Amino acid sequence: MYYITNHNHQIIAADSSLLGLLHIKTIDELYTKIALGDITFTSPLENKVTITTSQGEESYATQISTLSSILGDMTLVQLEISEEVAVSPEKDFTEDLLIIGSNEINDIPVSNTALEEVIEKNEKIDESLPEEDLLSLKEEITTPEADTVTHDDLSILDDEPISFNDTVTETEEEISLLDDTPMDLQETETSREDHEEILPKETESNDELFDLILPNAPEETIDEISLQETDEQKADLQEENHTPILINIEHISKEIGISTEDYNNFLNEYIDTAITLEKDLKSDQDEKRSHAITTLSHLASVLHLPMITEIITQIKNQSVENQNSSVSTLYNTLSRLTTQKADMREEVSVPLAEADIEVKPSGTEGFGTINLDDVKPVHFDFQLEEAANDLSLPVELIEEFVHDFIEQGHAETKKMLAAYEKGDLDTIQKIGHLLKGASSNLRINPLSDTLYKIQFCEDSSQLETLIKDYWAHFLSFETQINLISK
């Protein structure tokens, strides 16, 4: 078994054996449980890892290898399974479970209570049967007729997980029966099986015996219980998906070579970009969909967001018809991304916003209407290369952010004009703050200065002049970028 971690020591890949050992079906489920603290991987020693779950903890010896990839350095951690847990492919696992009197029973991890019950039942059979029938029964039990392990064979092993090799398999139906069958039903089935084994079995097939042991009525009941529990688990998972994902902004910013404030603003820009590309991501047109996937994947890689990169890769490998779940997961994950500084800013800003709402008189009239059609551009110089060098980022990435900012500017300006007509000074100031932060991060300083004035303007009579001044600089900036792109 093995798993792979990135430079932040986050698990980004795991083989099916490890997922099976943890009773997990997908890497997404493993990532969620690790984020919630339901499963932890710790390394108390250099060549040892301890996996802790709700059922307990297990320690494994490890072999660690360093991998190089386009996403940075990764670590391959291979877990060495002890011979006591692993099942040998040459041994008949069914025989080991049924022949209770053999010495090999000591090699099987079985709880004391379950072992005593099986031994007691085995002794009752030995005492009640003649010697000839007993020999015939043991021959039938020890004859290997199938390679698969049924749920009856595994019923005594519920206390501890077992790793199976490729030759020992279980179907999903058998796993459902194993997990959901109550103890009293298992005891009834075992007792019934004891009575059935007394009868001659030369003419009975495996299917007929299975029908006798598990009638249709209990099976349907168990399936209903299983489905109900599955729905509850899905509801729990949806609640868990609202848990914030904390980004180590100090560490990542240092690796990229930018300040934590710049990284936080670039992260916000990335989320805005993802929102604007949602329609393209779901589009039936291959060109739009491919452009959206490439853009989001590249920016996620630059911002060191491996969990986002992984989800986008899943979307890329899926068809448009089958990607809805992955797309929902992407935007759910984006909504949960947070940094420590972002949390602090929210805690400070909420009381101020509430105070503004309380002071603001009800029934405030509008400020009027602003017409921006006659505004003429005010030219100022802006160079993509200078901004890229200042931020230590590729020019292509800065250009992508600039185009996103222009789209955002048009949308937010419409909201600003609507707020002006309603007389909503608070909303106008917030929009000014939002656009000022984005333009400042991209080093569009003259435009940022005009928005700074809007953000802190308390005199509504000055707003029209300030908004027109901002729009004049915005038009000039948009024209420059369009010429550069062409």
- In eight-state DSSP terms, residue 199 is S
pLDDT in tens, 246-305: 888 888 888 887 888 888 888 888 888 888 888 888 888 888 888 889 889 888 888 889
* Strand, helix or coil for residue 130: coil
Does the pLDDT at position 477 exceed 90? yes
Q: Is the pLDDT of residue 202 over 70?
A: no
178: Cβ contacts below 8 Å, ≥ 6 apart:
151, 154, 155, 158, 170
The most confident of the ranges 43-47, 70-74, 307-311, 341-345 is 307-311
Residue 23 CB partners (closer than 8 Å, separation 6+): 161
Closest by Cα among 285, 293, 286 to 311: 293
Least confident of 81-85, 122-126, 145-149, 269-273: 145-149
Q: What is the mean pLDDT of residues 413-441?
A: 93
pLDDT tens-place string over residues 4-56: 888 777 888 888 888 888 888 888 888 788 877 889 888 877 788 889 998 88
**Could you give the CA distance from residue 52 to residue 72 in angstroms, rounded to a whole number?**
28
Instruction: Give residue 37's region: left, alpha or beta (phi > 0; psi -120 to 50).
Output: left
Q: pLDDT tens digit string along 96-114? A: 434 344 444 444 444 455 5
pLDDT tens string 319-349: 888 888 888 888 888 888 887 544 444 443 4
Which of these, 187, 179, 193, lies nearest to 229 by C-alpha position? Answer: 179
pLDDT, tens only, 361-419 = 434 468 999 999 999 999 998 999 998 998 888 999 999 999 999 999 999 999 999 99
- What is residue 106's predicted lDDT score, i.e. its pLDDT? 46
pLDDT class for 358, splitting at 50, 70, 90? very low
Question: Is residue 360 predicted with pLDDT exceeding 60?
Answer: no
How many CA atoms, within 13 angstroms, populate the side-chain half-sphere of residue 29? 13
pLDDT band at 478 (very low <50, low <70, confident <90, very high): very high
Indicate the helix (H) or strand (E) that contains 75: strand 72-80
Confidence of residue 123 (pLDDT cuts 50, 70, 90): low
Q: Compute CA distances 181 → 20, 131, 190, whole Å.
A: 20, 34, 13
